[in-house]
Structure 1
Amino acid sequence: MQLMHSLRDRITSGQYVADQALPSEAELSEIYGVSRTVVREALAELVQERLIYKIKGKGAFVSPDRTDVRFVGSVTGSAADLLASGRRVMTTVLDQGAGPASPEEAMALNLGEDERVVRLRRLRVVDGVPWLLVRTALPEQYVPGLDRAKLENRSLYETLRRRYGIEAAGADRWLEAVIPSAEEANLLEVEPGTPLLGIESVVWDKDGNRFEWYYALHRSDQSRFYVGIR
């Protein structure tokens, strides 16, 4: 508790600033004259308080102030939301292709058994930290050629608007706590077993056509979601 309070005071007083690396466990153990076990317990408490975050293989870092993001309660994409808040956003396309819709995709998008979808799997990095891992499916009939489009560091919604004239008019979203797979934890640079926020979404246009289904895993230690109810 003494170590935790000491580190907390250094963070809240500004001695350690946002995204600054803390000394390693070995260094903290030597500085404070305590065991590595005590250091790990103190750091775990600070993670729980969201004052620090850990990146696998790199250590512990001071958490920035969590930005309120609104895309869960709106029809804007997460990239547009983040850019509007002044964040630095990079998107890597991990997989891109087309094929027959799975039963889950067909049900979500109101497709027949033989209809095809374009699939994307992307990793979004915000201010240098992995933030969102998302699987997306779109009916191929609405977005022909999207499986070959260049989407690296580009907004999907802006591409849909410019290239296909598709704009979101409404969406349903479901949120749940999820334990990621080993691969997902590695991509998002979190410790195995770290709970993530799972976001499932179905989006439709002004004519009621469902044009996008996605399932995203989000590191909720980096931001908090805002949903306004009026």
Structure 2
Amino acid sequence: MSSEQWTNELDRELPRPLHAQISSAFRDRIAGGEWPDHYRLKPEPDLADEMGVSRGTLRRAITTLIAEGLLVQVRGRGTFVTARAIEPSIAQRLTSLSEDFESQGVRWETDVLESIVGPVPRPIASLLGISVEQPALRLERVRRTDAGPVVYLVNYVRTDIAVGIEHVDFSEHSLFASLEQNLGLTIESGRRTFSAVTASAEVAAALDVEVGAPTQYIEQITYLADGRSIEYSDIWIRTDRLRVTSLLSRR
């Protein structure tokens, strides 16, 4: 955009501060799609010069939009338009979705559909390293944000290792935090397999989508520091509300 166009948008005669006018102009570009998700703004010195304002004024406008969640600054890379769908780091690090939500300032809550100790399907028992006769906790939950249901999770947790885990109120506490902070276990590694699947009737009801709607499916196995598997998860994600993104480096 030319300096002349910015001059037409910013009125120095108005009682409204310039930084507030800049914030509004940026909001309009984001809302209108001119600045799409992940759009990188010009460097602040260049943008301030182009707009004919001081860097302090521009910085104040940008800080306002960062606080509103519309922009994000990445050290050494610049200022970007925030993705409108939640983008957890679960494809990059062994974080839980609740940890990702908290780090991104997303308000969320958990509905516990079932929490019961009982038998485990044979394939899952094999992955957990237990016999089919050995019971485990089956934990079924839906994670919601202000937009509605986002994630449907079914976890199987080894109760022979995580003793007492069945007594945790998972509407208030996350699984990983309960294992590490409450039970003193150390989660070391995990394996996540990603695939695209259509929603079954059960998944559709949990995520409030049509049967057959596309979802992101994740199969997860989590291991402790001593190498023992501690939990297995089936995870279905509403891709219109949450996207899985990987940041990759060639070297």
Same-fold call, TM > 0.5?
A: yes
Matches within 5 A, 1:1-230: 12-13=31-32, 65-230=84-249
Secondary structure of 1:186 counterpart: helix
Deviations 1:47-86 (A, max 9, x none): xxxxxxxxxxxxxxxxx71232102331111100111001
Secondary structure of 1:220 counterpart: coil
Q: How many residues align?
A: 173
Q: Which residue of 2 aligns with 1:3?
A: none
Gaps of 5+ in 1: 1-10, 15-63
Answer yes or no: is the 8 Å Cα contact 1:117–1:138 preserved in 2.
Answer: yes
**Cα gap change, 1:158/1:107 in structure 2, threshold over 3 Å: closer, same or farther?**
same
Larger Rg: 2
Gaps of 5+ in 2: 1-29, 34-82
Q: 2:173, 2:140 → 1: CA distance?
A: 13
- Structure 1 length as normaliser, TM-score? 0.69
Q: 1:212, 1:72 → 2: CA distance?
A: 18
Shift of 1:12: 4.6
**Cα gap change, 1:205/1:182 in structure 2, threshold over 3 Å: closer, same or farther?**
same
Shift of 1:218: 0.5
Tell me how large the CA RMSD over aligned residues is: 2.2
Answer yes or no: is the 8 Å Cα contact 1:142–1:164 preserved in 2.
Answer: no
Higher relative contact order (CA 8 A, sep 6+): 1
Q: 1:113, 1:205 → 2: CA distance?
A: 21
Structure with greater strand share of residues: 1
Q: Which residue of 1 aligns with 2:74?
A: none
Identity %: 26
- Structure 2 length as normaliser, TM-score? 0.64
Q: Which residue of 1 aligns with 2:21?
A: none
Q: 2:193, 2:92 → 1: CA distance?
A: 11
Shift of 1:145: 2.2
Answer yes or no: is the 8 Å Cα contact 2:168–2:178 preserved in 1.
Answer: no
